[in-house]
Every structure is written in C-alpha cells, then in structure tokens.
Amino acid sequence: MEKARIGGWLAAPVFVAVLALCIAPLAILFAYSFFQVDFVAIVTDPTLKNYARIAASGTYRWLIAKAFLSGLAVTALTAVIGYPVAWFIAKRVVHYKSALLTLLLVPLYTGDMVRIFAWRVLLGAEGVLNALLMWTGAISRPLDSLLFSPLATHIVLTYNYLPFMVIGLWLAFEALDDRLVEAASDLGAGTWSAFRRVTLPLTAPGLIAGGLMVFVMVVGDYLTPQLVGGASGVTIISAINDLFGTAFDWPLGSAIAWTMLAILFCFFAAAVVAISKSSLGRAMVGGEA
Amino acid sequence: MKSRATNIATAWVWLVYIFMYLPVAMIAIFSFNNSEIIAFPLQGFTFQWYNETFTDLRLLGGLKLTFLVAIPTALFSTVLGAMAALALTRFPIKRRMLLLVVILLPFLIPKLILAVAQLILLSDLGIDRSIWTIIAGQTVIILPFTTLVNASVLMRIDSRLEEAAFDLGASHFSAFRRVTLPLMKNGLMASWFIAFVLSSAEYVLTSFLSGRAQPLSILVASDFRFNISPALDAIALMLVVANIALIGLGEFIRLRSQK
Amino acid sequence: MTPASPTKPVAAAKPAAPLLRGVAVHKEYGKVHAVRGIDFAIEANSYVTLLGPSGCGKTSLLRMIGGFEDISSGLIELDGRSLAGMGAAKRPVNTVFQNYALFPHLSVRENVAFGLAYRDLSKTAINEKVDAALSMVQMEAMAERRPRQLSGGQQQRVALARAIINEPRILLLDEPLSALDRRMRKDMQIELKDLQRRLGMTFLHVTHDQEEAFALSDRIIVMNDGRIEQQGAPADIYRKPATAYVADFIGGANLIAGRIVAAGDGTATIATAAGEFACPAVNGLAAGDEAVLTLRAEQIELSASSGIPAKVTHTVFRGSEWLVETRLEDGTEISLIARDEGPPEVGATVGLSFAAGRGWIAASGNGG
C-alpha cells in the first residue's frame, strides 16, 4: 500500500523527534533514579534506596499528595467555571464563536512572568482586590494574606488553565446534538433532569479531556506557587529543582520525578479508559480517525 | 425559562471574561504609569516605557534572541505537527493510537522534569547549551499544540477532494500540493503563530537549556524578585493588542467575504 | 383511478370538539414569517400529514405543537385547553424526531424507558411496559444494544417505541422516514399506519413526500410559504385541488392559466389561450378572477387531428405506458399518457382533448 508507506514516512520524523528529545531524556532520568550520590560523584551501582527514601519521608509524601490535591481542586474549579462558558459559546453564539474562543486564549500570550506579576499587583496589600473589598465595606483593613498564600496560588492556577478546560468542553458541546436535549424534555424531563441524564453524560468526554489537561498542567506548574504562593510555594516540583541545583542529589531528584510521572501516567490511562469506554467517546475517536 | 438560563449564562460569561482580562488591564495601566515601581497608587501618564522597549539595549538583545529562537521553533514545530496531523488523519498507518500517545507525551510531562531530563542528556552527551538546544527543547513541547491545530483543520477537509484529484490523474505529491496544502494554509499559519507565541513566552525549559544565551523570558525572570520593568508590560500589551487586532482583521475579512 | 364521487362524507363536520385546534397560529423568527396565522383542527384517532416543500413552515408548526418553540401569536388547544406556557416536558404530546435523536449513551431499553422515570411506576411496571412497547415494534431481541449498533429502520422503531410508551394524546412525527432507503420506507409506511390503527392514537406526520402522505393519511394538510393551501381527504386533495399550487405540488397536474367568464354552483367556465372550457370548479370563484384549468395527464386524450393543437417535444417510456410531453401554441407545457397506441413522433403536431366534466378549475394562488 503506497498510502501506508507515505504515512510511515510522515510519522517517522515525528517519532524520531519525540524519541530523541523526550523519551530518551526520560529514560536516562529513569536510569539515574537507581544511582546514588557519593559527595560530588555519582555512583552507578543500581539501588532502590532513592525510592525507599521517598516512601519513608513524610515531607516528600505530603508534597506529592499536595501536588495532586491542588490538581484536583483546580480541575474542579475550572470545570465549574468553564462549563457554562463552553455551553454559551457552543450553543448561544452564532457569528463570533471563533473570536470569543481566541479572546479567551489571548491573555495567555502575555507570558507567564508578566502575567504572574500582574496578579501580584492585583492581589497585593495595596492591590485592586483589597481596594475593592475595602470600598464595599467587606473589610476595614487590607488583607495582607491575600498574596503569598495557597489562595493566591489557586486563583492564579485557575486563571492560567481555565481556557484549556473551556476548549475541551466546547468541543464536546459542539458535538452534542440539540435534538437529544429536546427529546429528553419531550419525554418529560425538566431542565435539571435533562441536564443530568443527557447533557452531562454526553459532554463527559470533553470534561475528562479538559480536566486531564488542566490536571497535568497544575501538577507540573513550577512558577505559580513559587511566585505568588509565598511560604506555601514549596512544591514537589520545586523540590525536584532544588535536588538538581543547590542540593545536588540527581538520583533522588530523578526518583521523585519518576514517581510523579508514574502517578500521572496512571491518571492519564484512567482518563483514556474512561473516555473510550463511553460509547460516545468510541464514536468520536472512530468518527475522526 | 430558556431565556432566563441564557441571561444568567451571559452574565457569567461576562464575569469570566472580565476575570481573564483583569491582569491584562493591570499590564495596560502600568505600561503607561510614570513610575518604575509597578504598584498602586498610579503616578501619572507616560510613554516612556514604550520608548524604552525600542532603546534599552538589554531588552532589545533579549527580544532579538527571542525572535531568533521563536521563528525557527515555530517553523519546525509547525512542519512536524502538520506531518503528524497528516499521518493521523489521512493515511492508514499502523499503530495510529501509539503515534497519538507519542505526540501528546511531551504535553503530559511536567516541564521542569522534562527540562531536567534534557539537561542530564546534554551533559552526558557533552553537548554545550546554545540557542539550538533551546530550539530543540521547545519544538518538542510545542509539537502537541501544532499537531492538534493542524489535525482539527484536516478533519474538516473532505477527503473526497483528494480522491477527486487522484481521479483526475494527480499523484500523491501533486494532489497534496494542489489540493490539500492550499486548504491547510490557514491552519498552518494559525499553528505557526500559536507556536511562536508559546515559544516566546516559555520560561522553565528555556531557563534550563539557555546557558549564556538569554532570551527575554529569562531576563524578565531575573528582574522578578525586585520588580519587573514596566517596559515589559509595554511589550506584553503590544503583543495582546496585536493579537486582538489580528482577530478583528480576521473577523472583518470573514464577514466581508460572506456578503 | 376510479372516477371522482360527487359527495365526500369523510370531511363532514363532527359534533365533538377536535382533539387539537389551532387558531391564527403565527410564528416569526426576526423578520422571517415561518407560519402566517393559520387555523387547523385535528380529530382524535386519525392519521394526519402536514405536507409541503422544505421551508413551508410545517416543521415550525410541529415544533410549536411539541412545545419546542413559542408561538408568536395565536392559540393552540389540546382537548379544549390552551397549551400556552406549558413546556415540552409537561405536554401530553411526544415526538419522533428526524434522525430519531436516540440517546447514544443509553441502550435501547434505557432509551425506551427514559420518559417513564417521570411517572410514579414501580420497576416491574416499567419493565413490563418497555417489553410491551418493544414487542409492539418487534425490537425485543435488540433491547440491550446501543443505538449505533442498529440499522436505520431499527432506530426508527426504537424512536417510535420510546414515544408511544408515554401514551401521548398526539404523536408527532418529523420526517420520520426521510433517512431510510426506498424499500424500507414502503415497509415502514405500512407499519406506521398499522400501529396508528392498533393504538387508536392520533399521529401527526410531517413530510415533503406526497406519495407518503397519500399512503398514510386520513387527512392531509398542504402547506406552502407559511400558509395552509388546502386540507382534506387525500382523494379530495388530488381530484379537487383548491389552488394551482396544490394541483402542481400533488402529482404535478397540467396547468392552463386563464380567466373565469362565468361561475355557477360547483362549475365554472374559463377562457384560456387554448379556448373556453366549462368544468367542475372550486367554490368561491367569480367571473373575472384569474384561475387555472388543471388536467391530470391520464385525463387527456390524444388524437391525430382534432382538439387543441400541440407539438410533441419529448416521449418517455415508462413500462406500461408512455409519457408524452407537448407544448401548446402559447408555450404552455402539457404532459399526457399514451398507452396501447404507442407514442407519436417527436416534432409532430397532435390534437389534445378531454372528456366534458373532467378537468378541474382551481384558484390561481401564488403558484410556488
């Protein structure tokens, strides 16, 4: 088959690029996770000690758990905030659909650093949010704790990744046939019941896909907790960074990194199974391939 | 009842968009504020920061390097992404699912972990960090985005158009050049643009791979602990305004062509 | 075709109130008037089709009855009670959607049982009802499948079962057969009609296919451009079209435009370019009105010399007969049927005639 041969030639450079720039580095990282540090040299006798250290350390266990809890919390927040937005863009906008979607992405173009700094100004003691709260009389003195807190981290994380959730959900809403919702109400379903029995199950693949994107990015986010989290900004990712930098323990850093990756792959596999198990997901994959 | 749901959703969408543009508004305000310190209260109006973006040698150097990195990165990742998208949507390749997972893989890996891994590989291979290591590293993390943009365009192109070209005697290459490629053009441009923006804003990977060559995003970070320069706000705002202008232009052309 | 009977007992007025009644029903979307203030009445236990071309307003009307669209002005009553302000969920009306709108994430059984969740029924009662509905449409064996695993005809049956299980006062069917191939369509027509009789339910069926309408209906409502052109029994609509539009849309009658010179009780005389003819006519015509003489192809006789002169432009062999297309001197095109005698040659001049009392004079209307 000539077509298959051309397909192979098209795919080959992509495979090579990802192999060289992503899979090979991660494989070496994996190898390092079984090494050990002796003063300033790396001993290459394979050992499981690094993984044992992670399992024994309450700090690392807590940091790993915190990363995934943050991921789940921000995923849930973006889902709740983004669901009506995606519905609105898909079902209530006719002419300016692509403009609205692009406008949602434009703030991301300002760059991580500049945007995070803008949030520091917004949330700071003399910031806009404090001024607003004082003006409405909700508080009498500026809240110092607004910035450099877990709250600030989660506000900015939600802000950063909301557009990805909206796009995942929007795709699902575009694929949802309005007549199915009409059919539900024709058969006696009220607004809430039609949502629960038809709309929600049929947009679930978009929710899972968008959720997975947000989750992965929140878990892997390095800058946001560092720059607006203050004392709470220590994360498992910043711990990995320290181990490769000042602390100089590459093997332990590699082991933590691979622990994170293994857990992330589990979430990913679960999401893929969840999407492909739903008959709708199967239809979507089959229809597009 | 339906219209009430729509009204609530409209209000909600407005709130979300205001939330999304709050930091952009901050950036806009401080790019015109007559003070080096980015903090309230405001100190008066100035164009100084816009002038500075065109005169500050350090910023200009960073900006130049950003372009030197972003232009080839956008090109490579768009070409690779388009090839991957063609393979995924147009050709009966074996292990299509494997290819999809491979392409999405760089997206799933936390950037800092990937950056560290790439750094180890470079040091083990004895390769010095340079502008080319930045380009290679960025290309692979931007690849998932360019693939999805191009695949979404290809899925909307009727594959019977290519069959019609074969039917009229075109070879695979000529059918691609005369039919598929012109139809992919908008997607390719969008993909290049998105890749450019992602590349220029990328920080974590860049900081690990950059060595002595320091693009703008690294300069911003090194200023960060103290106070970033309002000139950076000016650059960010120009980027946003250029984007919105492009959307406006696109919509204008689209609406005119519909008449 | 049997000759027209002079009386029509089917359309005689019944004393009981109609099941569904529309008064001055109007629908506009922005500047577009989809339905222009129409009146209609639908009797209980009947099969009614709404027939018209796409964009004639028939689907808008159906959606207003189903509760999916608000009425711009006017009134729809079911059993003498207005449906205004009653959402689709509350109406005792169910719909078989175009392309069926089966829930892809639910099995056939779950699809059919969907509406029963809103009634106070035990699990066993629900199962019994679902089994009964599935056997009614001969889909018991497919109960655990997903809609995607079914053929078009099977999906159609599931959609029917899902709607009738709720025992609606009226079942609305929106182009239910349009997604099926020709053979399947014929089979489903018979099944639909049969189902309606067995259930004694009122079916209101939207279609653009006049053959389908004839095969199914007790009564046809012909719509065009947001208005009702004519409503009545199928035979009446075919033999006594009220307007030129109906005559043309239903079976493509020949139309000869002219002007009424005299109108009597059920007859009229029309002057056309081909001569003056006295024929049965639609009520309400007066001398001086523009009107059309409508002639079915099978009503016209062909002769070599006598009659209205016409030139043969085309002949088409149709198995048992020939379709002969001709053109009158003023350019009006007339087609007719030639049987045993064989077709005349293309280009020949022939004479056309029709028996006195055949033909029908209809109002000009706007044509379409």
Q: Which residue, among A176, A186, A193, A284, would best test binding to C if mutated, counting the most C CBs under 10 Å from its CB?
A: A186
Q: Mind telling me how many Å the CA of B83 is from chain A's nearest CA?
A: 5
Partners of C333 in the β-ladder: C327
Banded pLDDT at B2 (limits 50, 70, 90): low
Contact yes or no for A179 and C115 at CB 8 A: no
Banded pLDDT at B257 (limits 50, 70, 90): low
Q: Which of A2, A14, A127 sits opposite B83 (nearest CB)?
A: A14
pLDDT, one tens digit per residue, over A25-74 is 999 999 999 998 877 777 878 888 889 999 898 899 999 999 999 999 99
C231 Cβ under 8 Å from any chain A Cβ: no
List the structure tokens of C32: 């577009």
Q: How many other CB atoms are found less than 10 A from the CB of residue B211?
A: 13
Q: Which residue has the tokens 């390769």?
A: B127
pLDDT, one tens digit per residue, over B177-187 is 888 888 888 88
Query: Do C158 and C150 touch, CB atoms closer than 8 A?
Result: yes
A89 Cβ under 8 Å from any chain C Cβ: no
Q: Mind telling me how many Å the CA of B152 is from chain A's nearest CA?
A: 9
Banded pLDDT at A282 (limits 50, 70, 90): very low
Model pLDDT, residue A1: 60
Q: Which of B16, B96, B244 sits opposite A85 (nearest CB)?
A: B16
Q: How far apart are alpha carbons C127 and C118 in whole angstroms?
A: 15
Model pLDDT, residue C15: 52
Banded pLDDT at B255 (limits 50, 70, 90): low
C120 Cβ under 8 Å from any chain A Cβ: no
Higher-pLDDT residue of B122 and A102 is B122
Contact yes or no for C88 and A193 at CB 8 A: no
The residue among C143, C120, C119, C121 whose CA lies nearest residue C131 is C143
Does the pLDDT value for residue B242 go beyond 80?
no
Q: How far apart are alpha carbons B89 and A51 in whole angstroms?
A: 41
Q: How far apart are alpha carbons C224 and C226 in whole angstroms?
A: 6
Average pLDDT of the segment spanning A170-187: 91
Burial C167-200 (b: 16+ CB within 10 A, else e): ebebbbbbbbbeebeeeebeebbebbbebbeeee
Query: Do A227 and A120 touch, CB atoms closer than 8 A?
Result: yes
Q: Which of C99, C102, C115 sits opposite A188 (nearest CB)?
A: C115
The phi-psi region of residue C252 (left if phi > 0; otherwise alpha if psi is between -120 and 50; otherwise beta) is left
Does the pLDDT value for residue B41 go beyond 90?
no
Q: How many other CB atoms are found less than 10 A from the CB of residue A232?
A: 15
Q: How far apart are alpha carbons B19 and B97 in whole angstroms?
A: 37
Q: Which of B92, B110, B247 sits opposite A99 (nearest CB)?
A: B247
What's the whole-model pTM score?
Answer: 0.80
pLDDT, one tens digit per residue, over A20-37 is 999 999 999 999 999 988
Contacts with B114 from chain A: Cβ below 8 Å: 22, 25-26
List the structure tokens of B59: 């910023």
Query: What is the pairing mode between strands C254-263 and C290-295?
Result: antiparallel
Model pLDDT, residue B213: 66
pLDDT, one tens digit per residue, over C13-49 is 445 678 999 999 999 988 888 999 999 999 999 999 9
Which has the minimum average pLDDT: B37-46, C105-114, C226-235?
B37-46
**CA-CA distances (angstroms) from residue B17 to A107, B7, B241?**
10, 15, 16
Does the pLDDT value for residue A285 go beyond 70?
no
Higher-pLDDT residue of C266 and A278 is C266
Q: How many other CB atoms are found less than 10 A from the CB of residue B58?
A: 13
CA atoms within 13 A on the CB side of A26: 20
The one-character DSSP state at A271 is H
Contact yes or no for A14 and B80 at CB 8 A: yes
Torsion of CA C46, C47, C53, C54, to 10 degrees: 100
**CA-CA distances (angstroms) from residue C367 to A192, B68, C244, C248, C259?**
47, 69, 6, 8, 16
The identity of residue A187, as a single letter, is L
Give me the helices (H) in chain C, please: 58-66, 108-113, 123-136, 152-164, 182-199, 210-216, 234-239, 244-249
Q: How far apart are alpha carbons A152 and A143 in whole angstroms?
A: 12
Model pLDDT, residue C110: 92
Model pLDDT, residue A155: 93
Contacts with A190 from chain C: Cβ below 8 Å: 89
Q: Which of A180, A193, A279 sits opposite C146 (nearest CB)?
A: A279
Interface of C with A in 57-116 (CB under 8 A): 66-68, 87-90, 93-95, 97-99, 101-105, 114-115
Q: How far apart are alpha carbons C78 and C170 in whole angstroms?
A: 9
Model pLDDT, residue A62: 93
Q: How far apart are alpha carbons B137 and B119 in whole angstroms?
A: 10
Contacts with A194 from chain C: Cβ below 8 Å: 89
Does the pLDDT value for residue C2 go beyond 70?
no
Contact yes or no for A187 and C87 at CB 8 A: no
Banded pLDDT at A81 (limits 50, 70, 90): very high
Banded pLDDT at C202 (limits 50, 70, 90): very high
Contact yes or no for C89 and A186 at CB 8 A: yes
Query: Do B239 and A109 touch, CB atoms closer than 8 A?
Result: yes
Average pLDDT of the segment spanning C250-277: 86
List the structure tokens of A14: 């992509």
Contacts with A85 from chain B: Cβ below 8 Å: 12-13, 16
Q: How far apart are alpha carbons B30 and B38 in whole angstroms?
A: 6
pLDDT, one tens digit per residue, over C84-125 is 888 888 899 999 998 899 998 889 999 999 999 888 899 999
Q: Which of C88, C105, C162 sits opposite A182 (nearest CB)?
A: C88
Model pLDDT, residue B178: 83
Does the pLDDT value for residue A176 go beyond 60?
yes
Tally A–C CB contacts below 8 A: 74
Mean pLDDT for all residues in chain C: 87
Contact yes or no for C89 and A280 at CB 8 A: no
Residue of A nearest to B242 (CA): A106
Residue of C nearest to A284 (CA): C104
Model pLDDT, residue C1: 40
Does the pLDDT value for residue A281 go beyond 60?
no
φ, ψ dihedrals at A151, nearest 5°: -60, -50
**CA-CA distances (angstroms) from residue C172 to A186, C19, C48?**
11, 14, 10
Q: Which of B13, B41, B88 sits opposite A88 (nearest CB)?
A: B13
The rounded percent of chain C whose pLDDT value lies above 90 is: 40
Model pLDDT, residue C16: 64
Contact yes or no for A186 and C146 at CB 8 A: no
Q: Which residue, among B73, B101, B113, would best test binding to A if mutated, counting the most A CBs under 10 Å from its CB?
A: B113
Q: Give the strand order in the sheet containing C349-354.
A: C300-303, C349-354, C308-317, C322-328, C333-338
Residue of A nearest to B104 (CA): A18
Tally A–B CB contacts below 8 A: 251
Banded pLDDT at C267 (limits 50, 70, 90): confident
Tally helices (H) and strands (E) across chain C: 8, 20
Q: Mind telling me how many Å the CA of C106 is from chain A's nearest CA?
A: 9
Contact yes or no for A185 and C115 at CB 8 A: no
List the structure tokens of A280: 């709708």
Q: How far apart are alpha carbons B179 and B163 in whole angstroms?
A: 10
Contacts with A189 from chain C: Cβ below 8 Å: 89, 114-115, 117-118
Q: Which of A8, A92, A159 sits opposite B19 (nearest CB)?
A: A159
A278 Cβ under 8 Å from any chain C Cβ: yes
Q: How far apart are alpha carbons C140 and C149 in whole angstroms?
A: 15
Q: How far apart are alpha carbons B94 and B88 in whole angstroms?
A: 10
Model pLDDT, residue C93: 92
Which has the minimum average pLDDT: A125-129, A155-159, B223-227, C174-178?
B223-227
Banded pLDDT at C338 (limits 50, 70, 90): confident
Burial C129-156 (b: 16+ CB within 10 A, else e): bbeebbebbebeebbeebbeebeebbbb
Q: How far apart are alpha carbons C255 and A259 in whole angstroms?
A: 83
Termini Cα distance of chain B: 35
Contact yes or no for A264 and B108 at CB 8 A: yes
The residue among C108, C127, C107 whose CA lies nearest residue C117 is C127
Model pLDDT, residue C7: 43
Model pLDDT, residue C344: 82
Banded pLDDT at A175 (limits 50, 70, 90): confident
pLDDT, one tens digit per residue, over B50-89 is 887 777 777 777 778 888 888 999 999 999 999 999 988 8
Does the pLDDT value for residue C257 go beyond 70?
yes
Q: Hey, which chains touch B, using 3+ CB pairs under 8 Å?
A: A
Could you please report the per-residue DSSP string of C22-80? EEEEEEEETTEEEEEEEEEEE-SS-EEEEE--TTSSHHHHHHHHHTSS--SEEEEEETT
Average pLDDT of the segment spanning A120-131: 78
The phi-psi region of residue B158 (left if phi > 0; otherwise alpha if psi is between -120 and 50; otherwise beta) is beta
Does the pLDDT value for residue B158 go beyond 80?
no
Termini Cα distance of chain A: 18
Residue of A nearest to C104 (CA): A280
Could you please report the per-residue DSSP string of C193-235? HHHHHHHT-EEEEEES-HHHHHHH-SEEEEEETTEEEEEE-HH
Average pLDDT of the segment spanning A80-97: 90
Q: Which of B21, B155, B255 sits opposite A107 (nearest CB)?
A: B21
**CA-CA distances (angstroms) from residue A2 to A269, B85, C307, C341?**
33, 18, 69, 60
Does the pLDDT value for residue B44 go beyond 70?
yes
Torsion of CA B115, B117, B121, B127, to 10 degrees: 20
Contact yes or no for B201 and A110 at CB 8 A: yes
Model pLDDT, residue C368: 36
Helix (H/G/I), strand (E/B), else coil: B157:
coil
Model pLDDT, residue A278: 63
Banded pLDDT at C8 (limits 50, 70, 90): very low
Say which residues have a Cβ less than 8 Å from residue A75's Cβ, sequence separation at least 6.
A165, A211, A214, A215, A218
pLDDT, one tens digit per residue, over B145-154 is 899 888 888 8
Model pLDDT, residue C3: 45
Which has the minimum average pLDDT: A102-106, B238-242, C253-257?
B238-242
Q: Mind telling me how many Å the CA of A193 is from chain C's nearest CA?
A: 10
Contact yes or no for C89 and A185 at CB 8 A: yes
Residue of C nearest to A185 (CA): C89
Q: Hey, which chains touch A, using 3+ CB pairs under 8 Å?
A: B, C
Does the pLDDT value for residue A270 go beyond 70?
yes
Model pLDDT, residue A71: 95
A200 Cβ under 8 Å from any chain C Cβ: no
The alpha carbon of A62 is separated from its chain's Cα centroid by a whole number of angstroms, namely 19
Model pLDDT, residue A287: 35
Does the pLDDT value for residue A137 go beyond 80?
no
